[in-house]
Chains A and B, each alone.
Chain A
Amino acid sequence: MNHLLALLKENARISLEDAARQLQMTPEEVAAGMEALEKEGVIRAYQAVVNEDKLAADTVTAVIEVKVQPEREGGFDRIASRLARYPEVTSMYLMSGQYDLMLFVEGDDLRTVASFVSEKLSSISGVTGTATHFRLKTYKHHGVLMDFTHETERLQVSP
């Protein structure tokens, strides 16, 4: 992975100047590098990693395993692209194993997610089965520990 991408994956909000100081580059080179990564589609977005459990609103997240009948033309991709376009779907992957697609679905409450599954998901032709699991608590999200981080103390001066 290039140095700039590794840095941005840790901290996407770093200023061009700070990134430049750490990477032996000029701020202009950092800006050009970021633009190139965006243009190539390597960087798709910059987002905040949120601890949902800290929010007052009780949004519901579900992981849904979906079995689909692959099509003669296009395999899984066409049906996957239809499912992925629903705004309720926040992440989606093609999986090996017992089922085919794994969807992460977010809704304001249980009913929203339930109706997404029963009315939208199951009615799509090609979907042959679903299994829905609800998230109870988040321990780690996008590589970030949510709650149990604590500072370890080091000696202030050591050889």
Chain B
Amino acid sequence: MKPNDSKFLLNRLSTTVADLPRSGIRDFFEVVSQMKDVISLGVGEPDFSSPWHVRESAIYSLEQGQTGYTSNLGTPQLRGRISGYVEKFFGISYQPEREILVTVGVSEALDLAIRALCNPGDEVIYHEPCYVSYRPLIQLAHAVPVILETDASDGFKVTAAKLRPLITDKTKVLMLNFPTNPTGGGLTAEEVKEIADLAVEKDLIVITDEIYAELTYDREHLSVAAMPGMKERTIFLHGFSKALAMTGWRIGYACAPHALIEAMMKIHQYTMLCAPIMSQQAAYEALRNPEEDIAVMKESYWRRRNFLHGAFTGMGLNCGLPEGAFYMFPEIKSLGVTAKDFALGLLESEKVAAVPGTAFGACGEGHLRCCYATSMEQLEVAMQRMQRYVDHLRE
């Protein structure tokens, strides 16, 4: 045995993990972190700190000595508030005692949901470009990832027409995330209904990641879980990170029929035990009266979305107006460079960081993800620099 030989250790790794590619985000992060004075449009989180009353309540809970474990499911108080909130905002009613599980971010909930559902060989359909963890989580569960490619021409939507041909007798799960990271794509009520009808017809389980739901700008958000026949076949995932600016607290939750929550809870209790109690207390406070906090931040994102959209369109880049989240996904194909080369060139020559679309799936080629959760002043400078870079490429 030669424990210092890294080859020796690599040979001992699980092949599933060894074959898993590194996140493209991580590669890019390493390049960016070597440089100084970069304006970053590469973040995936709000530029607001959590509302003060939320932070204050966490401090208070620490002062009270609340530092122990909680119920595996999460504190009953928090589950109660989550139930009330989901009913009010999404119009779906879940029992706090049996149908809600508090997790360490939606990231954990996604992992639990996929692992609870999938046997090796089961097919899981998900849409790309998408959040970086979807495909690896499916692979870690030894299930088969099936990509539904979305594109700019239809606003990065999943439609029943695109979905139907991908469904086989092995398809077990459909994963949805609207509004979408990284594209900002959203669905109309009619589109949601068609997907729901197809899920019922084909007897699919749907995992819906609703983390950006509140940040839907031009219409009311509608969750697929609220459609007729869907609640009983949907795992509804949501959390506090985006609309309430609470990324670092790591609190998410899953709402689903009892049998599914019970299965997810089994994994959760053995791997995570429970979400941190101080974060749960903060989340409980955040749901006391969340509408007001959300409205202020949403207004600010809405303004920045409008600004950035105007700036990209002004540069002659094809860029749809995103319906939600805080990302813009402009197309740079016309400039004759790959997304990666564009992003690296922009970083080197103008010190602006934006993530190549390929980090979110191969069909993200030709796009950049630009997050507008950055101050207006920084966005203005970033757009001037990007304009200069685009002009340079066109010369």
Contact = CB atoms under 8 A, between A and B. Distances in A.
Given A22-B303, A159-B131, A159-B132, A154 B25 contact: no
A159 B105 CA distance: 13
B261 interface: no
A3 interface: yes
Interface string A133-158: 00000000000000000001011111
B323 to A, nearest CB: 14
A155 B299 contact: no
A157 B306 contact: no
A157 B355 contact: yes
A7 B353 CA distance: 27
A107 B299 CA distance: 39
B200 interface: no
A156 B47 contact: no
Contacts of A156: 29, 32-33, 38, 40, 42-43, 353
B28 interface: yes
B49 A24 contact: no
A159 B25 contact: yes
Interface string B6-41: 000000000000000001010011001100001010
Contact of B29 (A3, A6, A23, A157): A157
Contacts of A3: 299, 302-303
Nearest to B310: A21
B104 to A, nearest CB: 15
A158 B327 CA distance: 13
Given A21-B310, A152-B49, A157 B303 contact: no
Interface residues of A, number: 15
A156 B43 CA distance: 6
B44 interface: yes
A24 B299 CA distance: 13
Given A156-B29, A157-B28, A159-B23, A22 B306 contact: yes
A154 B306 contact: no
A137 B60 CA distance: 26
B66 to A, nearest CB: 24
A23 to B, nearest CB: 7
B310 A157 contact: no
Contacts of B131: 159
A155 B374 CA distance: 12
B133 interface: yes
B45 A154 contact: yes
Interface string B309-350: 011000000000000000000000000000000000000000
Given A154-B47, A157-B353, A159-B23, A24 B306 contact: yes
Contact of B45 (A7, A18, A158): A158
20 contacts: A7-B303, A22-B307, A22-B376, A24-B306, A154-B43, A154-B45, A155-B29, A156-B40, A156-B43, A156-B353, A157-B32, A157-B40, A157-B43, A157-B355, A158-B29, A158-B44, A159-B44, A159-B131, A159-B132, A159-B181
Interface of B: 23, 25, 28-29, 32-33, 38, 40, 42-45, 47, 49, 131-133, 181, 299, 302-304, 306-307, 310-311, 353, 355, 376, 380
Interface of A: 3, 6-7, 18, 21-24, 152, 154-159
